[in-house]
Chain A
Amino acid sequence: MLSVHNRPPKIQAIAKQEFREGVRVNVSVLEALKPLRKSALLGIIGIVGIVVGLKINAAYSTHLKPVQPIEFSHRIHAGENQIECLYCHSSADRSPSAGVPSVAKCVGCHERIATVRDSAEIAKLNAYWQAQEPIPWIKVHDVPDFVHFTHKRHVLAGLECQQCHGPVETMDRIERVADLTMPWCTDCHTLNQTDNGLDCYTCHK
């Protein structure tokens, strides 16, 4: 570091002058701030506005609970009728992906359920089946592609589906309750002292 005294004489002189004037500058900064108080308030209001905006978005956005192509109710299926999760999401205990039931599986049951056969939503299902087209469900639970999440490990470790997916059996329209962020994952991994649960390569490979 160069000290003032090490500089050549001419520069030393200029530096000393700067030093002396500096005191005066400091005083004038305080004075100059006075008319800025209003602007500071303006800034604070702006920032509060941003936070309010984020909250409004979170409150009114439907991305945690999107409207699905068919108003499928987990409350009726998993709640009232007590169908096992794995009956439809059948690969959850042996594959990274839990899987959604094929259209054939839905129709396979509903053909035989006379009470709801003619309801509007089942009519939609039948329309997909007749057209032999898949139902374009909207994904509610999703992690980024750089996360290697596997259902199999979690199911085999004895976790209840509800621990991550919430009380699905009470939901008419499926909703995401967990935020599925990395701290949310690692909190659980820490709490349960999972083997290699905090190793980067466990999830990012």
Chain B
Amino acid sequence: MTSINRRDFFKFVGAGGAGAGAGYLYAELVKRPQELLVPQVVPPEDYSPGLATWYNTVCNQCSGGCGISVRIREGEAKKIEGNPVHPVNQGRLCALGQSGLNALYNPDRLKTPLRNNNEGRFQGIEWEEAIDELAQKLNESRARRQSDRVQLLTGNIRGHVNGLIGHFMEWVGVASHMQYDFTRPANLYEANQLTFGQSMLPYYDIRNTHYLLSFGADYLGTWLSPVHNSLGYGHLRQGQTEKRGTCIQVEPRMSLSGANADEWLPAVPGSEGSLALGIANVIANGHYTGADQAEWANALTTYTPSNIARLTGISEVDIERIAEEFFTNASLAIAGGAATAGTEGVATHIAVNALNYLAGNIGQKGGVIFNSDPGFAQTSTFEHANYQQMITLAEKMKNNEVDILILHDTNPIFSMPSSSNFQEAMENVPLVVALSGFMDETTAMADLILPTDNYLESWGDDVPEPAVGFSVASISQPVVSRLYDTRSLGDILIDTARMMGTEVSWDSTEAYIQDVWSRIYAQQGGDPSGFDNFWRSALEAGVWGQETASTNQGSTVKPFPVNQLSDVSNKLEGDESEYPFVLHPYLTLTFLDGRGANLPWQQELPDPLTSVVYNSWVELNPGTAVELGVKEGDVLEVTSPSGTIRAPAFIYEAIRPDVVAMPIGQGHEQYGRYAEQRGVNPIDLVVPNFDQRSGALAWAGTRVKILKTGERVLLIKTDGITRTLGRQILGPSEAEHG
């Protein structure tokens, strides 16, 4: 080795130094960043770090009334599951219910009271100031004795919070409280009132029926109480010892329930009620032996199988076969969805009720079971607003007959056709106060916004409807403390009334609910000293009530008012030559009427039948698509007599060639970052007709035409193609015999 010279020496020192530096930095780099260990200042009750506690409350994502258990760790909600002891959902929960966390932690929640500064901007204000402003305006109105010029408009609120609202109306002078919910089956309520004299929903015992005939009711997806229905469906298929139940689905576009049925009958849209009466005709003339047989046969003379086959496109043979099967099996007929959202929705429901009556399903196990009395009075100081009443309200607002409009949890601007001009009418109201959790289209019109709690943060109670065959109630409790500076609806009402100088004996919604329940407890014969125990156990269990043998079997069935049967052919708006297709808007189990569109988990959830994510689409039959030269992703212009929207095409095998279907829920202009500017709202195409008897919007009674725009987009979907390409995944022989 040669000697080390000066230059080498410097090289060695450099190498050593660089190495040491690199080593030091490397050690720094691989260190995990320091974390903090942050204790509670004052720990909440039964809190221990690292341990989860499950609290029971009630889901509020749709009106099914499922019981939920929420997993809480370190005071934060981590997961929502079904409450195993709640009879509605029995431990199960749907995707929308799971997404409740997305609503709780949504970054677009309203976090502080806001005032519109008249330049279209909202400014944060203090609660005191906001409540004071509302109280002042209400005081002025009360001084003028103009309680009819104050309108309270809320979404579907159940339970005794309505009682508190009733008190508030009395205290401050509000004459009217309307509840508007697009998903409320108004036609079904009306039909049940007319035929059974009960405007409550009966229990449809899908679980124990052997033969389920559904006219457009997507009972597995969106109809009434989907989780409970799905449980029933599981039992119907696999749990019954006598027989594997049969499901028949009548609808022009295959829904989730259609895809799970044994038979899918795509009757002409709008003729579902006629089909029901056709089946009823066969039963009345060959099977039914009741005392009023002649009356029935007489009322149904025109609904012969041949006539009905021509009208509905379902063959005579099928009609007669279904009639026989329906009569001889323990059967159940239900109706819903687009089939009952026409101009004759009530008539269609009555026709289906008639089927149940003729087959002897009323009050039977596996049939239609009426609910026993819940055992305590429920308040009804409100009315359910149907579409017609909403139009009347819009007229009133337009004519400056409303001074103050108080909104809560309802979005009529989105769920009413734009041609109903609700938005324009609202502009005429001097003071619009929105008690909302989110900035939706309707809230954005408000002058004053009071942010409300998420349902996981508030008190309430609920009597599920449809019930489960016996009386049940659940008390909902806050499972987390408030994340933001929000208040519950009841608390805002109490605060406002106090600000106006009213003596209010309850300090909060909690106190009110507890008071109501102490009275119910006393009414049930409970010992007053035991109330605390009762209250604690009711909150702990999340449900109150006992299963009783309440099927009114054997009790006399009231005769069916045959004279209520009427013309069931729904009127379709639009000239067939100009508008060749029938628009079939449908509720999705991801968004319902659009309320779920701000939940990112729901946006990510592929539609169960088309597998499309994130967008709106127009479903076309493959034959129709070939005829029009349309391929998947072609942007179509869908035009009705009421308006035009654009959405990409999706080729769907299970839809009638003369029908185009569009999912409801997307197309929000406001409602937070996850919902805005995504897809279109097919309700805007609906010509605002309504059912004469119930006043409900006929949202499935519009014809449309389709134009190819030449634009193309890539539809985001998880499916490849629906054909098997000879891969023998499901051969015809397997499908038939398997």
Q: B-contacting residues of A (Cβ < 8 Å)?
A: 37-38, 41-43, 45-58, 61, 63, 66, 90-91, 94-97, 99-104, 128-129, 132-139, 142, 144, 150-151
A50 touches B39 (CB 8 A): no
* CB of B27 within 8 Å of the partner chain: yes
Q: Which residues does chain B contribute within 8 Å of A135, judged by CB atoms?
A: 38-39
* CB of B736 within 8 Å of the partner chain: no
* CB of B31 within 8 Å of the partner chain: yes
Complex CA gap A133/B18 in Å reads 45
One digit per residue, 1 when the CB lies within 8 angstroms of any chain A CB and 0 when it does not, for chain B 37-60 equals: 111111100001111000000000
A57 touches B23 (CB 8 A): yes
* CB of B244 within 8 Å of the partner chain: no
Query: What's the minimum C-beta distance from A72 to chain B, rounded to whole angstroms?
Result: 12
* CB of B546 within 8 Å of the partner chain: no
Q: Which of B1-18 contact A (CB under 8 A)?
A: 1-2, 4, 8, 11-12, 15-18
Q: Which residues does chain B contribute within 8 Å of A104, judged by CB atoms?
A: 40-43
* CB of B32 within 8 Å of the partner chain: yes
Complex A-B, nearest 6 residue pairs according to Cβ-Cβ distance, in ascending order: A49-B19, A53-B23, A97-B50, A57-B27, A50-B23, A53-B20
B15 touches A42 (CB 8 A): yes
Complex CA gap A47/B16 in Å reads 8
Query: What's the minimum C-beta distance from B614 to chain A, rounded to whole angstroms?
Result: 30
Query: What's the minimum C-beta distance from B9 to chain A, rounded to whole angstroms?
Result: 11
Q: What are some 18 contacts across the A-B interface (CB < 8 A)?
A: A42-B15, A45-B15, A49-B19, A50-B20, A50-B26, A57-B24, A61-B28, A66-B34, A91-B48, A95-B50, A99-B48, A100-B37, A100-B39, A102-B39, A104-B42, A134-B39, A139-B34, A139-B35
Query: What's the minimum C-beta distance from B292 to chain A, rounded to whole angstroms?
Result: 66
Query: What's the minimum C-beta distance from B30 to chain A, rounded to whole angstroms?
Result: 10
B34 touches A63 (CB 8 A): yes
Q: Which residues does chain B contribute within 8 Å of A99, judged by CB atoms?
A: 39, 48-50
Complex CA gap A42/B1 in Å reads 13
Q: A91-B50, A95-B49 are in contact. Are A102 and B40 (CB under 8 A)?
A: yes
Number of B interface residues at 8 Å Cβ cutoff, please give it. 36
Query: What's the minimum C-beta distance from B388 to chain A, rounded to whole angstroms?
Result: 54
Query: What's the minimum C-beta distance from A130 to chain B, rounded to whole angstroms?
Result: 11
Complex CA gap A100/B37 in Å reads 8
* CB of B721 within 8 Å of the partner chain: no
Q: Which residues does chain A contribute within 8 Å of B15, judged by CB atoms?
A: 42-43, 45-46, 49
Q: A-contacting residues of B (Cβ < 8 Å)?
A: 1-2, 4, 8, 11-12, 15-28, 31-32, 34-43, 48-51
Complex CA gap A156/B414 in Å reads 58
Of A48, A90, A133, the contact of B16 (CB 8 Å cutoff):
A48
Complex CA gap A102/B38 in Å reads 9
A50 touches B49 (CB 8 A): no
Residue of A58, A94, A97 contacting most chain B CB atoms (<10 Å): A97
Of B18, B19, B41, B48, the contact of A134 (CB 8 Å cutoff):
B41
CB-CB nearest in chain B for A54: B23
Q: A38-B1, A54-B24, A95-B48 are in contact. Are A45 and B41 (CB under 8 A)?
A: no
Query: What's the minimum C-beta distance from B24 to chain A, rounded to whole angstroms?
Result: 4
A137 touches B12 (CB 8 A): no
Query: What's the minimum C-beta distance from B76 to chain A, rounded to whole angstroms?
Result: 14
Q: A46-B16, A139-B37, A142-B32 are in contact. Are A53 and B27 (CB under 8 A)?
A: yes
Q: Which residues does chain B contribute within 8 Å of A133, judged by CB atoms?
A: 41
A53 touches B24 (CB 8 A): yes
Q: A42-B11, A58-B27, A63-B34 are in contact. Are A91 and B41 (CB under 8 A)?
A: no
B35 touches A134 (CB 8 A): no
Complex CA gap A133/B32 in Å reads 26
CB-CB nearest in chain B for A89: B49
Q: Contacts A38-B2, A91-B48 given; 11 further ones with Cβ under 8 A?
A: A41-B12, A45-B12, A46-B15, A46-B16, A46-B19, A50-B20, A61-B31, A101-B39, A136-B36, A138-B34, A139-B37
Q: Which residues does chain A contribute within 8 Å of B2, judged by CB atoms?
A: 38
Query: What's the minimum C-beta distance from A93 to chain B, rounded to whole angstroms?
Result: 10
Complex CA gap A53/B20 in Å reads 4
Q: Which residues does chain B contribute within 8 Å of A91, judged by CB atoms?
A: 48-51
Complex CA gap A58/B36 in Å reads 21
Q: Which residues does chain B contribute within 8 Å of A137, judged by CB atoms?
A: 36-39
Query: What's the minimum C-beta distance from B477 to chain A, rounded to whole angstroms?
Result: 24
Q: Which residues does chain B contribute within 8 Å of A132, judged by CB atoms?
A: 41
CB-CB nearest in chain A for B74: A97
Complex CA gap A2/B349 in Å reads 83
